[in-house]
Amino acid sequence: AKSVKNIVIPASIKIEGKTYKVTSVANNAFKGNKKLVKITIGKNIRKIGRNAFKGCANLKKVTIKTTKLTAKMTGKNAFSGINKKAVIKVPKNKVKAYKKIIMARGAVKNVKVK
């Protein structure tokens, strides 16, 4: 997946006719992926692992659909090293809380959370 520019982490996936909720992004999932420009995080995600997007220098657009993220469940440096001009769209009622979490997890001050 190192050459993919746009990734959608869905709310659920279907495997052999069974539907499974997608609830987390693994530690180091996209770490160091320089091609990644845009990512959408599905509505059932509760956990984003340590270093999940660390060093994704071209990651400019992040859409977070979940309302279930907490600081405790968002790993250290998860957003460290993403593009300095990145725009992170979050659910309306979560802007303040998520901005605090995202900044605490490595995003620079220029990153917009809205």
Q: Give the pLDDT score at 63.
A: 98
Q: pLDDT digit string (tens) for 55-101? A: 999 999 999 999 999 999 999 999 999 999 999 999 999 999 999 99
The tens digit of pLDDT for each residue in 76-86 reads 999 999 999 99
What is the reported pTM?
A: 0.93
74 class by beta-carbon count within 10 Å (0-12 exposed, 13-18 middle, 19+ buried): buried
- Show the domains of the chain with their CATH numbers: 6-113 (3.80.10.10)
Residue 101's nearest CA partner among 65, 66, 77, 81 is 77
Neighbour tally for 93: CB within 10 Å: 9
**Banded pLDDT at 32 (limits 50, 70, 90):** very high
Q: Give the integer Cα–Cα distance in Å for 35 and 2.
A: 7
